[in-house]
Every structure is written in structure tokens, then in C-alpha cells.
Structure 1
């Protein structure tokens, strides 16, 4: 797919936009290695330096990660998500505290504003999440649990809140995976049935309590664990 411009700066920007689109669309998923430089040069019809500049820019933005001797990998789906990953790192407490702030308000607004179609989709996602849990399909369970929280926030129909949360979803998924692994060891599993009931009943206060409750419990357990390790 040759690019129709002769301006160097324009070429770099176009390559950046095309590569960014592949990342944000999921065609290049998080964690996957992107095609090697020679393939990109051929596919884009540009020079090596143009591809290198585009990769360097996307790495600086946090979407890509260059691993010397191993290749370039997708790190995040947006600049916001990349920034969140850099800020949070592996600090589970930080992620859970931000999740609490966003998800409590998201649940409150979702209960007030959700449509009948929104509710059906929430029910479908949660049923699939619970089926994956029952079947012991942990990767699918983690993904569907993450999808449930994201769609619940989307049901708020608050565009700013939704975009903020979307930028946070990689960190959310990582925290879900961590807490699911802990729950598997302790044989305890979080149910979101009461949260869904609150949204179904359009009880905003109950939805907020349910959304915050399990996160408060996770944070409390983390605090106890930290104290034991000191």
C-alpha cells in the first residue's frame, strides 16, 4: 500500500497513523510482536528511516515497546492507556483505587441511564463471564470480566468517563487477572449478580455500593497482606 506523498514529515505522520490504527483496532493486539522492519517497509512503500521514526514516535507515546534483539511489541491501545501503564506499573493498589473512583461513578450513572438494550448486553457479558468461570477457562473469564466493567461504564453514556476508562482497560485487565489468580488460590470468586440487579432495578445508590464494595474488599485484603509481609 504505497503512500501518496513526497514530503518526509508527511510520510512519517501517515505511517504513524496507519500503525496506530492497527493497534487501536486490535488487529495488532496488546502483547503481540509487530511485523519486522523489512515487512513494514515493503507493505508501506517507504524507506527504513521513515518506519524507524514512526516506531520511535509510537514507542515514545507508549503504544509500542522496542525490545533490543527481540523485536517491537504492542504495549497499549492508546496514548492514554500507555501513560496509565507507565504511571501504575505493577502497583495493584494504585490500579484498584483508580478503578474504584471510575467504576463507582460509572455504575451510579449506568443505573440511571442504561437502556433496555444496554441491560441485555450486560446480562449477556456477565453470563458468558460466569460460564467461563464455571468451565475453568480463566483467560476468557478475565477478558469477559474486564468487558463487563468496561461496558458498565459505557452504559453511563458519559463520553468523558467512558474514554477515561477505555484508556485504563489494560491496567484493569491486569488487575482482574491478578485478583482472579488470588481468588482461585483462596477458592473465593466475586459475583457481580447483585451489581447487575441494581442496574436492572435502576437503583443508583445500590449500584454504586455494589461497584465499590468488592474493590474495597480487595484493597482491604491487600492492606492485610502488606502488613503481614512487613
Structure 2
């Protein structure tokens, strides 16, 4: 059985313990052996085993239950969300937005309030007056999309959308910078693009749930094609 080497004993012990969990040595909900058993197996002392368990508990893999022992609560570790988004290609990010915003548009049409309507209309108007700056245009565009997601009154969807914004924002700015002509912010495409957003907002206002979802999907699918 592999044992840890000299440096960072707790980190190495946690890694080896996690590898054994992922290999299926203990199933979800299983109780781990005691420190006196795990210590010799890993080649470390009891204090190092305790620290390794604390590390894995902090990552959601293990749970220490007073008087009962240590139990497996997850078979994998979720990667840091920001890191996942940084490493993902833009197509995957847009596909995530499609999943979030299509559902959000549908819910927004069912749940929007008078306050939401005012926010969407204001953001729609500000999108027109954003000017020729790619940064300002993209920020105004994202702000409008956020008002639609906010109108769904689902905190989880809004949190997920906010997580996508930095990754998508830079990609859109880069795209507009590479296309000085024919882009939504400075060409005839502006009218069509603005109209598509106006139709989405109107569908939400009119409580047309299916239409709002479809308009959101269509727009984001075309955005994916442009960015990719």
C-alpha cells in the first residue's frame, strides 16, 4: 500500500485518502476506520490523520459526527466555480447561459412584477444609448439580460448568471473589437439586435412563457455561433 513521503504530510495523507475514496474503497455514507487504523496504512501519526480528515471535511468529502465517527459524504470534489469558468471554452459557457436564461425567461414571464417591468424597459433603453464603446455596449447588454433573470425571482438562477458574466463579457468585447463593421453596436445589425431584445422583454411583460423561452434560446444560440 502506498505511503506518504516527507513533505506536507497532512496534504499527502489527504490526497491518498481521497484517492482511496474515489477508488471505491468506501462507498457514500460509509464510516471510515479509526485514526489508529488509518495512521499506519498512510504511514503517518494520528495528528496528521486528523488534519487530513479536517481537510477533506472542509472540501465536503467527509463529515465528522460527534461520538459516531467519520463518514463519507461525497465521492468527488467540486472544483472552484471561477476556475471552472476560466478553463471552459466559450461554447460551453454560452451553453450554460442558454440553460439558465431560457428557464429564467420562462419563469420571468410567469412571475414578473411592475418593478421588474420598469427595470427591463429601462435597461432596454440604456442598451440603445450605450454608444460605440464595446465595453459600454456589452455592459448594457449584460445588464438587460440580468433584469430578465432577476424577474424570474430565483436566487439560484441569478447567482449562476452573475457567475457567467465576467467570462462572457470579455469574450464579447474581444469579438466586437475584431469586427469593426457589421457588429450590433455600430451597424445596421443594431436595429435587428435591439428588436430581438425588445421582443424578449415584451414576451416577459405579456406573460408569454413559451415565447420568452424560445426567444432567449434563439438569441443565445446565435451569440454562441458568433463567438465560436
TM-score normalised to structure 2 length: 0.55
Does the residue aligned with 2:139 lie in a helix, a strand or coil? Answer: helix
How many Å apart are 1:182 and its aligned residue? 5.9
1:146 paired with 2:142, answer yes
How many Å apart are 1:202 and its aligned residue? 1.1
* Aligned counterpart, 2:105: 107
Mapped contact 1:84–1:167 kept (Cα < 8 A): no
How many Å apart are 1:110 and its aligned residue? 0.9
Does the residue aligned with 1:95 lie in a helix, a strand or coil? Answer: helix
Give distance in 1, aligned partners of 2:179 and 2:103. 25
In structure 2, do the counterparts of structure 1 residues 173 and 120 end up closer, same or farther at CA, with 3 Å as the change threshold? same
Give distance in 2, aligned partners of 1:173 and 1:152. 17
How many Å apart are 1:193 and its aligned residue? 0.9
Q: Which structure 2 residue ranges, 5 or more long, are not aligned? A: 1-78
In structure 2, do the counterparts of structure 1 residues 111 and 84 end up closer, same or farther at CA, with 3 Å as the change threshold? farther
Aligned residues: 141
How many Å apart are 1:86 and its aligned residue? 2.6
In structure 2, do the counterparts of structure 1 residues 151 and 182 end up closer, same or farther at CA, with 3 Å as the change threshold? farther
* Aligned counterpart, 2:118: 120
Matches for 1:132-211 after TM superposition, within 5 Å: 132=130, 135-181=131-177, 184-186=180-182, 187=187, 188-189=189-190, 190-191=193-194, 192-211=197-216
In structure 2, do the counterparts of structure 1 residues 220 and 142 end up closer, same or farther at CA, with 3 Å as the change threshold? closer
How many Å apart are 1:146 and its aligned residue? 1.0
How many Å apart are 1:180 and its aligned residue? 3.9
Q: Larger helix proportion, structure 1 or 2?
A: 1
Does the residue aligned with 2:152 lie in a helix, a strand or coil? Answer: coil
* Aligned counterpart, 2:56: none
Please tell me the root mean square deviation across aligned C-alpha atoms, in Å: 2.3
TM-score normalised to structure 1 length: 0.55
Give distance in 2, aligned partners of 1:221 and 1:142. 14
Q: Which structure 1 residue ranges, 5 or more long, are not aligned? A: 1-78, 224-230
Give the one of 211, 219, 223 matched to 1:214. Answer: 219
